[in-house]
Amino acid sequence: MNMTNAAIAEKGVGALDVKISSKGVDVYYADNHAIKNVSLDVLDHTVTAFIGPSGCGKSTFLRCLNRMNDTIDICRVTGDILLDGDDIYAKSVDPVQLRAKVGIVFQKPNPFPKSIYDNVAYGPKIHGLVADKADLDEVVEKSLRRAAIWNEVKDRLDSPGTGLSGGQQQRLCIARAIATAPQVLLMDEPCSALDPIATAQIEELIDELRSNYSVVIVTHSMQQAARVSQKTAFFHLGEVVEYGDTNTLFTNPEDKRTQDYITGRFG
Amino acid sequence: MLSFAVLMIFASSLVFFIAGRAKAVQSVNGAYATLHSRPSYHGMYSSLWALLVGMLLLLVVSVVWSNLNDRVLMGAVLDAAPDISKIDAELVLSDAKSIAQGNIASKTDALRSTLAQQASAIEGQRLWGSVIISILGALFAGLLTNRQIDRDFRARNRSEKLVTGVLMVCAIIAILTTIGIVLSLIFETLRFFNQIEWQWWKFLFGTTWSPLSGVHDGVLDADKVGAAPLFVGTFMITIIAMIVAVPIGLFAAIYLSDFASPRVRLWAKPMLEILAGIPTVVYGFFAAITVAPYIRGFGESIGLSVASESALAAGVVMGIMIIPFISSLSDDVINAVPQSLRDGSYGLGATKAETIRQVVLPAALPGIVSAILLGVSRAVGETMIVVMAAGQGANLTANPLEAVTTVTVQIVMLITGDTEASTAAGPAFTLGFTLFCVTLGLNVIALKVVRKYREQYD
């Protein structure tokens, strides 16, 4: 397993377009300065990993990328974040449409209290992505297949999504997110509640998703970052200490703090 | 006198607390750690016993003694006037007691005066006797337990057991009261059905309600105890109330939980809950004096004939009364839907409306249903509003603009009228029992639904 994953990560990063570009982003929770002047480009068709100790702001920054922080009243974001060159915090941008393009999977699986089918069909239905029932069936099946859960649930699509096991629920949430056909998929520690087998399945899935999407993943596991990502950013105390190719960052870090973190001296 | 005794018992129990503590400390010469229980447990054990024994003796001795005194006095009355009827004898007795206490009696004569002297004498004995016995008992219990105190005495375990016993007795009193009320409802209902020769269907489905029409002949006419108009009236007013309360309450809850800013929520929710604090009698005269005439005037202006007391007026006002129950409970369950579900929906690009309609409300539905059911059981049992605003005539109608009557109104009429209680009690208790069954059923369903909901989310 490790061998194949290492091999996957080895696939080089060619000259790729910038998907999301951020410049001088600051985030405040009331008086707490959570993100300090972060500038970072997320490439298309690439898995980008955010690593760093707890409370360093990596999840907060991830949630800025599709304006999930809008739902928190005391949160304030300044600076520029551009998706395909357009400012996502501009007045003219509707966060609802933005989130259809930039999907998110959370740390804790959160299936809706609906059937498995309806969980996946939710996004396509509200965005009018399908013409009829047959279309919808196809999207649901395709999404569940891509999330590597189809075989486990195909005979009980009508049973509630909340009745699945933790790992299955998380894969259902991933299927739900890709059913909306986003361009970027944000994942906030998607494997923290999963066992090693489910984790491996999801890591494989993440690598597959790379062919269609740009994927950003927050993780506490440095092994996971090394396995699945091509680019890695190391966050510390709200700043990006180092950002570069995953291989370089793990084998030859420029900053002493990165070195200390990846060798386990703190965090 | 009795309050003096209570005070003395409390004082002695306090003294035993201090004494017990001191003795426990003394018994180990200040080496606290070698005591089995902390010194205050020793004090508590002694003082609890003194308090319990004192209070119990005070209660039992004064009640028993008072019964004995009554028997003695009754004997004296019968000795002086052997031919007196029982009810007159009791009158004489109560007059004598009044004179003894310096109150006004219905009549004063020689017999009553001598009896009064005797009464005040033995009443004095009773007071002094019960006070002295109870204080002595408290002291005795305190001293006895105080003697037991030494290093190895298990005062903590024993006093905890004692307190547990007291708590259990309180719980038993509450449960027994409930059982007693239910049993009395059941027996009176059975008696009523016996009076109408077990033609229970005439009660449930009969359409003529005039249970007191045969009172003068001392019979209950089974054809005139048809409560169907009452059930229909109750049902109609409940429906009208829910038509008002459910949408307003539910939408208010959605606004408060998902749209209102924290500042609005901070004052809006308490304001809404103040509605629940208004006494129902205030709603009642609001309905009768303000709403009913307004509805009547409005109805007449568009050519409808509206009774001055109408089901509509009572139902609308009752709906307003129920709004805070539904909105407050629904608000709680909507807030209990985890934020992660909302985030999940927003993260897929759903709007706020889509999220609420398709994710939040389905998740909160069981809780909302139980809030509505609790509201219904409130509406079914509500009395003051309908007494004032819905009318008294038991007519079977489906027109909300006419006067109707409800189960609760008829119970009030039966019990507050000047008919002898024993005659009116049968129909009233039977109506009450029916009401009890309905609200109990609704509450059980509501609780079951809530429990199912909790299992899903914890």
Phi-psi region of A216 (alpha: psi -120 to 50; beta: other; left: phi over 0): beta
How do A239-245 and A32-43 pair as beta strands?
A: unpaired
Q: Is B354 on the interface with A (CB under 8 A)?
A: yes
Cβ pair A176:B350 closer than 8 A: no
Q: Are residues B372 and B302 in the same domain?
A: yes
Residue B250 within a domain: yes
**Percent of the residues in chain A that have a pLDDT greater than 90, as a whole number:** 41
The per-residue pLDDT for range A189-203, each reduced to its tens digit, is 888 877 888 888 889
Mean pLDDT of A205-234: 90
Q: Are residues B246 and B217 in the same domain?
A: no
The per-residue pLDDT for range A153-163, each reduced to its tens digit, is 999 999 988 88
Phi-psi region of B362 (alpha: psi -120 to 50; beta: other; left: phi over 0): alpha
Nearest CA in chain B to A175: B348
pLDDT of the residue at B243: 96
Residue B162 within a domain: no
Q: Side chain identity at B376, as an amino acid letter?
A: V
Q: Are residues B201 and B258 in the same domain?
A: no
Q: For chain A, give the mean pLDDT.
A: 87
Q: Are residues B294 and B335 in the same domain?
A: yes
Residue B174 within a domain: no
Going by C-beta distance under 8 Å and a sequence separation of 6 or more, which residues neighbour residue B143?
none
Residue B169 within a domain: no
Nearest CA in chain B to A160: B456
The per-residue pLDDT for range A77-99, each reduced to its tens digit, is 999 999 998 899 988 888 888 99
Q: Are residues B308 and B422 in the same domain?
A: yes
| Domains within chain A, CATH numbers bracketed | 18-262 (3.40.50.300)
Q: Is B359 on the interface with A (CB under 8 A)?
A: yes
Cβ pair B362:A162 closer than 8 A: no
Total tally of structural domains belonging to chain B:
3
Domain boundaries, position B82 = 2-152
Given a cut of 60, is residue A66 above it in pLDDT? yes
Residue B275 within a domain: yes
Residue B409 within a domain: yes
pLDDT of the residue at B457: 53
- The CATH number linked to B379 is 1.10.3720.10
Q: Are residues B233 and B148 in the same domain?
A: no
Q: Are residues B220 and B237 in the same domain?
A: no
Residue B167 within a domain: no
Nearest CA in chain A to B364: A113
pLDDT of the residue at A4: 44
The whole-angstrom distance between residue B264's C-alpha and the CA centroid of its chain comes to 35
Q: Are residues B323 and B453 in the same domain?
A: yes
DSSP B86: H
Cβ pair B344:A173 closer than 8 A: yes
- Residues of chain A positioned with their CB less than 8 A from the CB of B345: 112, 122
Integer Cα distance of A215 and A231 in angstroms: 10
Higher pLDDT, A130 or A7: A130
pLDDT of the residue at B209: 87
- Residues of chain A positioned with their CB less than 8 A from the CB of B347: 66, 68, 99, 103-106, 177
Stretches where chain B sits below pLDDT 50 are 458
Cβ contact B343:B332 at 8 Å: no
Q: Are residues B239 and B384 in the same domain?
A: yes
Given a cut of 50, is residue A12 above it in pLDDT? no
Integer Cα distance of B194 and B220 in angstroms: 10
Nearest residue to B37 (alpha-carbon basis) of B126, B129, B152, B144: B152
How do A214-218 and A47-51 pair as beta strands?
A: parallel
- What residue has token string 């393009």? A101
Residue from the list A73, A114, A127 with its beta carbon closest to the beta carbon of B349: A127
Q: Is B344 on the interface with A (CB under 8 A)?
A: yes
Q: Are residues B344 and B379 in the same domain?
A: yes
pLDDT of the residue at B453: 65
Higher pLDDT, A105 or B101: A105
Return residues 311-340 of B near A (CB < 8 Å).
338, 340
Residue after which a domain boundary falls, among B205, B224, B243: B224
Q: Are residues B391 and B450 in the same domain?
A: yes
Nearest CA in chain A to B344: A110
Q: Are residues B19 and B59 in the same domain?
A: yes
